[in-house]
Amino acid sequence: MDRGFFSNIELRTRNGRIYYAVAVLSLLLVAVVTLFPFFFAFTSGLKNSTEIFTGGLNLFPESPQWHNYTDAWTRFDMMRLFGNSFLLVGVGVFLRVVVSAAAAFSLSKLKPVGGRVIIFGFLLTLMIPSIAYFVPLYITIAKLPIINVSLLNSYWGLWLPYCVDAFSIFVLKTFFDRIPSDLIDSARVDGANPFQMFIRIILPLSRSIIIVLCVLAFVGLWKDFLLPYLVLTDPAKQPITVRLFYIADDYSVNLQMAASFMALLPPLFIAILLQRYMKIGLTLGGVKG
Amino acid sequence: MMNTPYRVDANLKPPTIRRHPINYSKLRSTLPRQFFAYLFLLPALVVFALFAWLPILSSIQMSFQDVRLGQEATWVGLDNFTLMFRDPVFEIAWKNSIQFTTWSLLLGYLVPVVIAILVREMRIGKGFFRVVYFLPTVVPTAIAVIIWRFIYDPDGGVLNEILKALGYSRLLWLQDANLVKPALVAVMTWGGFGTTTLIYLASLQDVALELYEAAELDGASPLQRIRHISLPHLYPVMSLMFILQIIAVVQVFTEPFLLTNGGPGRETLTPAMHIYNRAFIRADMGYASAWSVTMILVLLAFSVIYRVVNNRLSAET
């Protein structure tokens, strides 16, 4: 039986109905406020350049200028911006998950000597977010120690730092810990090496948690601003989040809004289509920290 | 006679006999195992060393040095720190940080709690509300800022048009020293409350329904049921969220950087922004590092509090 603090019977009484109506209305109000910026960007993107500056609450454009969207698409060169973002984020997500899963597999099933020290080292990075040390991080990327290679204006300068994600390692380790060691042991008896165990046994069993982490990583990396802003100074390589902000000012507001709305669509689609995974991931993050 | 020493020994620990001084068969399986263990760890160790551990250590090192682009670093002792404490911006930036935190707790702390309790009550449309509320959390700040600065626009911005329609005079949302902090916090809250709501909702799913039933039979009103059952159930998570919110606000950079660039005056200058200005505009890495170290210490302190609270809570359950 499903009930909340209200029982279903109570909800049919007069007071219950009033309570419920008030709750629904307040939730709808919050929903309207939450969605307003999306809606506003969308309709402002449809206005013509005089209408957008006339006062009054004209939320709906009189004659929707759909060509604004195609104009914005070509003028902001959005094809390339999206391409850059997808390349940057796609490879970033892939590398992060591979590096994290390999490390978690090792810590969970191969029991390295000194594993506790390493876990503490990973934990430390959870407690000190990168914003606190982005200056030396930038210096490291600009000139890698020992080999003296600069990763500025190279996607590697972001892909590699994006692999630093202790959260994924801990989530995966907790998950791998629950996979019975018997499976690993019997594979070992059958002569499997650790690579085969990792690829044939561990990864297929943890497909769902890996999707969760991929979705989280995709959204997180798509949102990232400071590091790509510092590392990629070449406009031709910048992802949409960095480039759009800087060129937006050169164009009229309606085109800005149209471009912004289009830029929001990929993460929105991911969030809506993969909401089940997103939900698991976000609740995972809050409590385990 | 011969037995005596043995009897004495019997009370002591039995002598440890190393039956197999070296267990060759075990070694044969351990060595490759350790080799593979470290092979799998290697990529993570390399990236963590290069892009986390080394930078953390080097910000501590640089905070005691004079580091400028193209010059040898020289040790200057505590100079950077004495300079930092004398810098008027030190007080301004951290005071802004505290005010941002206060505003964000005022505007945003209880909102997710209330929403989660109400959404939990919905008999239909739960999923709809959940999705809607977390949509802003996936929006990149740099894009959100383009939209929000038009919403806040003093001339023709929606907010001022609403005020005008209601008969009030327009407000300079981002230019007024009294309004700019809550205005920025509103953007942050918009972008973040969905996550917290989901966490509270997940926690509320665990409340035993019998509790509500028993309370109802005892004549507790719906509001009393919230106060005595739902809320106490949320308190542990709420205390964690309280600390997490502080940790998040201390790090704030992108919103003030892009929306107000620290202005008006220095009203929205945050420590992270000052680090950026000092390091990349004035190219004074050493001084910026003194700020970084301060920030590391502050964040570390709250993280430790978080872990202590978290451990105590999981020990209780």
Q: Is the model's pTM score more than 0.80?
A: yes
* Cβ within 8 Å of A, B 83-122: 111, 115, 117-122
CA–centroid distance for A110 within its chain: 30
Which of B289, B298, B283 lies closest to B78 in space, CA to CA?
B289
CA–centroid distance for B185 within its chain: 15
The pLDDT score that the predictor gives to residue A289 is 36
What tens-digit pLDDT sequence spans chain A (289 residues)? 477 788 878 888 888 888 889 999 999 999 999 999 999 889 888 888 777 777 666 777 777 888 888 888 988 888 999 999 999 999 999 999 999 999 999 999 888 988 999 999 999 998 888 888 999 999 999 988 888 889 999 999 999 999 999 999 999 999 999 888 888 888 888 888 888 889 988 999 999 899 999 998 999 999 999 999 999 999 899 999 999 888 888 888 888 889 999 999 998 998 888 888 888 887 775 444 3
Q: Apex CA B229: angle with CA B223 and CA B233, to 5°? A: 130
User: Does position B160 have pLDDT exceeding 90, yes or no?
Assistant: no
The pLDDT score that the predictor gives to residue A10 is 80
Within 13 A of B311's CA, how many CA atoms are on the CB side?
Answer: 6
Residue B78 near chain A (CB below 8 Å): no
Residues of chain A contacting residue B300, judged by C-beta atoms under 8 Å apart? 127-128
* Cβ within 8 Å of B, A 245-264: 245, 248, 253, 256-257, 260, 263-264
The pLDDT score that the predictor gives to residue A230 is 92
Interface test with A, best of B47, B59, B110 (most A CBs within 10 A): B47
The pLDDT score that the predictor gives to residue A285 is 56
Q: For chain A, what's the residue count? A: 289
Which of B248, B240, B238 lies closest to B104 in space, CA to CA?
B248
Which of A120, A106, A165, A178 lies closest to A285 in space, CA to CA?
A165
Kindly determine whether residue B122 and residue A24, on different chains, have CB atoms separated by under 8 Å.
yes
Residue A266, token pair as written in the block: 């990929």
Residue B283 near chain A (CB below 8 Å): no
The pLDDT score that the predictor gives to residue B11 is 44
Which of A266, A104, A267 lies closest to A198 in space, CA to CA?
A104
Kindly determine whether residue A111 and residue B33, on different chains, have CB atoms separated by under 8 Å.
yes
Kindly determine whether residue A225 and residue B140, on different chains, have CB atoms separated by under 8 Å.
yes
| Crossing angle between the packed helical segments A240-248 and A78-105, to the nearest 10 degrees | 150
Interface test with B, best of A47, A124, A131, A268 (most B CBs within 10 A): A131
Q: Which residue has the higher pLDDT, A280 or B71?
A: A280
Rounded to a whole number, what is the distance in Å from the CA of A40 to chain B's nearest CA? 8
Distance CA B209, CA A1 (A): 9
Q: Apex CA B101: angle with CA B154 and CA B279, to 5°? A: 80
Residues of chain B contacting residue A10, judged by C-beta atoms under 8 Å apart? 216, 222
Residue contacts between A and B (CB atoms, under 8 Å):
309
